[in-house]
Structure 1
Amino acid sequence: MTGRQGVVLYGPPASGKDTVTAALSALNSKYAQFARLKVGSGKSAGYRMGTEEQLTALEAAGDVVYSNARYGNTYVLDRPGLDAAFAAGVPVVHLGQVAGIRAVVDGYPASWSVVLLWCPREVTARRSQGRGDADTTARLMAWDATRADLDAHPDMVWDLTVDTAVSPPQDAAVLIDQLLAQRAGAATA
């Protein structure tokens, strides 16, 4: 295992992945959200927008660690992007599929801390509407898919679980930072 540390935040839409990542970055500038490569259209903030040709080239080179399709787009965790993110600090990867977690943890060498951020479906609905999402219905379908994904993988082990309906983002950030510090200490002991 390398000395590089990364964080995976898993949870349904509007569970607080962006908000907790912002709180982590405010706590310590070494944390930065990993900007996935997005092939498609729509929201571009927080993504590296790419083309089908770029995706094909990454696939041919074996540099796609994980990809998934949702909301009519393809989202990619790519080896060159992860390399750059680790060179800059501690990447925070957002995922909504257990298969993605396993692909990253097993397919990209680093010390990964895997965190489940959870909130009830009605909280996702309220947050999605509150932030002006035009596709709240699709996000609720994704919430349902995330719940089914969790139910299908009862063997999934979480390094930390946070209920974002009751825990403020700053508290979650402190817990995640403490987790990484403990893991770094254990690795050097």
Structure 2
Amino acid sequence: MTENQGVILYGPPASGKDTVTTALADLDSKYIQFARLKVGTGKSAGYRMGTAEQLNELETAGNVIYANTRYDNTYVLDRPGVDSAFMAGVPVVHLGQVGGVRALVEGYPASWAVVLLWCPREATAERSVGRGDSDTAARLAAWDATRKDLDAHPCMVWHLTVDTTATSPQAAARLINQLLAQRAGAATA
């Protein structure tokens, strides 16, 4: 039996995680964005909105793979959610913390392709303003935190690194799709 394949897109805010995920889904409908459980307020698109009670139940049952707090919200990778995502196709998980990447890779058995999407701080600022974010300053602080996180983990292994200021979303999607095909071929060889 072939191991489930999933994609982790790691990068700072506005590095292209949503755009590359859309390009992946356009390339092949098997790719689906994993909707993290979000406990809090604000943007709900792309999330499964939850309550503190739901989070507590997941924690009590040992079903929280990783949780982090940013922008006054809690974002959760939960085992039932990841299970459902794999049943629907190839999940594409967006993360901005190396700890989250490690927790998912170590805490949920699958063949994870770990992709670093990167852009300079100035690109995050321009993209954030361009898409109408009301919290660009917070996103730049998150960019700084992501840079610090990367610097603190120089041995982190990336299966693919994409500079999203030099690579189109469609080209990035093709590279990721090719990476998964290669990994699947190596697993069956």
Q: Which of the five TM-score ranges fits, normalised by the shorter chain?
A: over 0.9
Q: Following the alignment from structure 2 to structure 1, what is the Cα–Cα distance between the partners of residues 41 and 47?
A: 11
Q: Following the alignment from structure 1 to structure 2, what is the Cα–Cα distance between the partners of residues 188 and 87?
A: 21
Does 1:19 find its partner at 2:19? yes
* SS class of match (1:172): helix
Contact kept in structure 2, 1:65 and 1:104, CA below 8 Å:
yes
Letter in 2 for 1:51: T
Per the alignment, residue 155 of structure 2 pairs with 155
For residue 81 of structure 1, report the CA deviation from its aligned partner. 0.2
Letter in 2 for 1:133: D
Q: Following the alignment from structure 2 to structure 1, what is the Cα–Cα distance between the partners of residues 6 and 47?
A: 18
Q: Following the alignment from structure 2 to structure 1, what is the Cα–Cα distance between the partners of residues 35 and 125?
A: 25
Contact kept in structure 2, 1:65 and 1:77, CA below 8 Å:
yes
Per the alignment, residue 72 of structure 1 pairs with 72
Per the alignment, residue 48 of structure 2 pairs with 48
* SS class of match (1:29): coil
TM-score, normalising length: structure 2: 0.99
Alignment of 1:1-189 (within 5 A): 3-189=3-189
Q: Following the alignment from structure 2 to structure 1, what is the Cα–Cα distance between the partners of residues 39 and 176?
A: 30
Contact kept in structure 2, 1:15 and 1:124, CA below 8 Å:
yes
User: In angstroms, what is the RMSD of aligned CA positions?
Assistant: 0.9
* SS class of match (1:106): helix
For residue 3 of structure 1, report the CA deviation from its aligned partner. 1.1
Contact kept in structure 2, 1:2 and 1:111, CA below 8 Å:
no
Letter in 1 for 2:66: Y
Contact kept in structure 2, 1:2 and 1:110, CA below 8 Å:
no
* SS class of match (1:115): strand
TM-score, normalising length: structure 1: 0.99
Q: Report the number of matched residues.
A: 189
* SS class of match (1:179): helix
Q: Following the alignment from structure 1 to structure 2, what is the Cα–Cα distance between the partners of residues 13 and 163?
A: 14
Q: Following the alignment from structure 1 to structure 2, what is the Cα–Cα distance between the partners of residues 6 and 117?
A: 16
| Runs of 4 or more above 6 Å deviation | none
Q: Following the alignment from structure 2 to structure 1, what is the Cα–Cα distance between the partners of residues 11 and 100?
A: 12
The CA deviation string for residues 84-127 of structure 1, in whole angstroms up to 9 with x for no partner, is 00001000000000000000000001000000000000000000
Q: Following the alignment from structure 2 to structure 1, what is the Cα–Cα distance between the partners of residues 123 and 165?
A: 7
For residue 53 of structure 1, report the CA deviation from its aligned partner. 0.2
* SS class of match (1:147): helix
Q: Following the alignment from structure 1 to structure 2, what is the Cα–Cα distance between the partners of residues 15 and 98?
A: 15
Structure 1 residues without counterparts, runs of 5 or longer: none
* SS class of match (1:143): helix
Letter in 2 for 1:81: G
Q: Following the alignment from structure 2 to structure 1, what is the Cα–Cα distance between the partners of residues 171 and 67?
A: 30
